[in-house]
Chains A and B, each alone.
Chain A
Amino acid sequence: MSLVIGDISKTYPNGVHALQNIQLEIPPGMFGLLGPNGAGKSSLMRTIATLQDADTGTISFHGLDIQKDKTGLRRQLGYLPQEFDVYPKTSAEDLLDYLAELKGVSDRKARKELVDHLLAVTNLTSMRKKAVATYSGGMKQRFGIAQALIGQPKLIIVDEPTAGLDPEERVRFHNLLADIKEDVTVILSTHIVSDVSDLCQNFAIINHGKVLVRATPKEAIERIRGKVWEKRIERNLSNNLPADQIISMHLSMGDQVVRLFGEDLAFLGAEPVLPTLEDFYFITIKGLKV
Chain B
Amino acid sequence: MMATLWSNLRFELTSRKRFLSPYIYWLVLTLLVFLMVLATGGAFKGTTINFGLGQKVFINSPYAINLYSALISLFGILIISPIFGQAVCKDYEAKFDQIVLATPAHRTGFYLGRFLGATIVCILIFSGLALGQYLAAALPFVQRSLFTAPRLSAYLVPYFSVLIPNIIIFGSVAFAVGSITKKMSAVYIAGILCFMGYLFGIGLSSDIERKVLRALIDPFGLNAMMSLTEYWSVAEMNSRLVNLKGIFLWNRVLWLTVSLGFLALALTFVQRAPKPSKKKKSEKATDEAGDEVEKKKAQGAASNLLPNVPLDFSGAARFRLFVKQTLFEAKSSLKNIYFICLTLAGVIYMFALNGQVGGKIFGTETYPTTYKVLELSSGSFSIFLLIIMTFYTGELLWRERQSRTDQILDAMPVPLWLNSMAKFAAMQIIIASLLLIVGLCGVIIQLAHGYTRLELDQVFTTLYSIQFVSFLILSAMMFTIHTLVNNKYIGHGLFVLYTIVMIYLGNAGFDHVLYRYGSGLGGARYSDMNGYGPFLLKIRNMQLYWLFGAALLLTLVYLFWVRGTDNAWSRRCAEARKRLTRPLQIFVALVLVGFIAQGSHIYYNTNIVNEYKTEKQGEKDRLAYEQTYKAKYDQKPQLKLAKVKAAVDIFPSRLWLKSKVEFTFDNKNSGPVDEILVNLPVKKKFVNLEFDRPTEIVVDDERMDLQILRFKTPVAPGEQVHLVYSIDYGYEGFRNDSTPTAIAANGTFFNNQSYFPSFGYQDGAELGSDKLREQYGLKPKLRMPPITDEAAKQVTYVTGLDADWIDFETTVSTDNGQVAIAPGYLQKDWVDGDRHYFQYAMDQKILNFYSFMSAKYEVKRDSWNDVKIEVYYQKGHEYNLDTMIDAVKQGLAYYSENFGPYQHRQFRILEFPRYATFAQSFPNTIPYSEAIGFIAKVDPKDEEDLDYPFYVTAHELAHQWWAHQVIGANVQGATMLSESLAQYSALMVMEKKYGRAKMSRFLKHEMNEYLQSRSSEDKKELPLYLNENQQYLHYAKGSVVMFALKEVVGEKALNHAIRVFADKVRYQNAPFTTATEFVATLKADLDPKFHDVIDDLLTRITLCDNRIQEHSVKAEADGTYTIDLDILGKKVYIDDKGDENEAPLARDFEFTVKDEEGKVMLTQNYPIKTGQNHLTIKVPKKPKVLWLDELGIWIDKNRDDNKITL
- A residues near B (Cβ < 8 Å) are 12-13, 46, 49-53, 71, 74-75, 77, 79-81, 83-88, 98-107, 110-111, 113-114, 117, 120-123, 125-127, 130, 134-136, 139, 144, 147, 149-153, 175-176, 179-181, 184
Contact = CB atoms under 8 A, between A and B. Distances in A.
B408 interface: yes
A15 B311 CA distance: 41
A80 B411 CA distance: 10
Contacts of A114: 307, 309
Contacts of B302: 121, 175, 179
Contacts of A75: 311, 313, 413
Contact of B309 (A46, A136, A151): A151
A175 B299 CA distance: 10
A227 B1125 CA distance: 113
Interface string B940-957: 000000000000000000
Nearest to B416: A71
Interface stretch (B284-292, B831-839, B1038-1046): B284-292
Interface string B407-431: 1111111110000000000000000
A52 B565 contact: yes
B670 interface: no
Interface of B: 277, 279-280, 283-284, 286-287, 289-291, 293-295, 297-298, 301-313, 317, 320-321, 324-325, 328, 332, 399, 403-405, 407-415, 563-566, 568, 571, 575
Contact of B565 (A51, A107, A126): A51
A88 B337 CA distance: 13
A89 B277 CA distance: 14
A101 B324 contact: yes
Contact of A106 (B321, B403, B566): B321
A180 B305 contact: yes
Given A120-B297, A127-B283, A150-B309, 8 more contacts: A51-B566, A71-B413, A77-B413, A85-B405, A106-B321, A123-B298, A126-B294, A127-B290
B565 A99 contact: no
A86 B405 contact: yes
Contacts of A102: 321, 325, 409, 412-414
B404 A84 contact: yes
A67 to B, nearest CB: 10
A41 B459 CA distance: 59
Contact of B312 (A13, A86, A107, A135): A107
Given A87-B405, A123-B298, A181-B306, A51 B411 contact: yes
Nearest to B311: A104
Contacts of B403: 85-88
A79 B411 contact: yes
A51 B309 contact: no
Contact of A84 (B283, B286, B408): B408
5 contacts: A53-B566, A77-B411, A103-B412, A127-B286, A127-B290
Contacts, number: 161
Given A120-B297, A126-B287, A105 B305 contact: no
A15 B653 CA distance: 71
Contacts of B312: 104-107
Nearest to B284: A136
Nearest to A138: B287
B290 A120 contact: no
B284 A99 contact: no
A126 B324 contact: no
Given A53-B566, A83-B404, A136 B410 contact: no
B305 A71 contact: no
Contacts of B313: 75, 104
Determine chain B's interface SS by DSSP, over half rule: helix
Given A86-B405, A134-B283, A180 B410 contact: no
A83 B231 CA distance: 63
A125 B290 contact: yes
A157 to B, nearest CB: 8
Given A75-B413, A79-B408, A103-B412, A126 B277 contact: no
B301 A117 contact: yes
Given A117-B301, A139-B287, A74 B412 contact: yes
B566 A152 contact: no
A71 B415 contact: yes
B305 A98 contact: no
A87 B398 CA distance: 12
B405 A79 contact: no
Contacts of A125: 290, 294, 297
Nearest to A116: B301
Nearest to B564: A51
Contacts of B411: 49-51, 74, 77, 79, 81
Pairs A-B, 7 closest by C-beta atoms:
A126-B290, A52-B566, A51-B564, A81-B407, A74-B413, A85-B404, A75-B413
A142 to B, nearest CB: 10
A24 B15 CA distance: 45
A105 B309 contact: yes
B279 A101 contact: no
Nearest to B332: A87
Q: Which of A74, A100, A126, A175 has the most CB of B within 10 A?
A: A126
B581 to A, nearest CB: 12
A198 B1124 CA distance: 103
A77 to B, nearest CB: 6
Nearest to A157: B411
Contact of B412 (A99, A106, A181): A99
A218 to B, nearest CB: 26
Nearest to A88: B403
Contact of B277 (A106, A123, A134): A134
Contacts of A53: 564, 566, 571, 575
Contacts of A87: 332, 399, 403, 405
B811 to A, nearest CB: 74
A10 to B, nearest CB: 9
A107 B563 CA distance: 27
A171 to B, nearest CB: 12
Contacts of A144: 408
A47 B308 CA distance: 27
A175 B303 CA distance: 12
B328 to A, nearest CB: 7
Q: Which of B302, B325, B410, B413 has the most CB of A within 10 A?
A: B413
Nearest to B308: A152
B306 A107 contact: no
Contact of A120 (B284, B289, B294): B294
A46 B403 CA distance: 18
Given A51-B565, A121-B305, A136-B284, A104 B413 contact: yes
A13 B567 CA distance: 10
Contacts of B565: 46, 51-52
A134 B405 contact: no
B244 to A, nearest CB: 46
Contacts of A80: 408
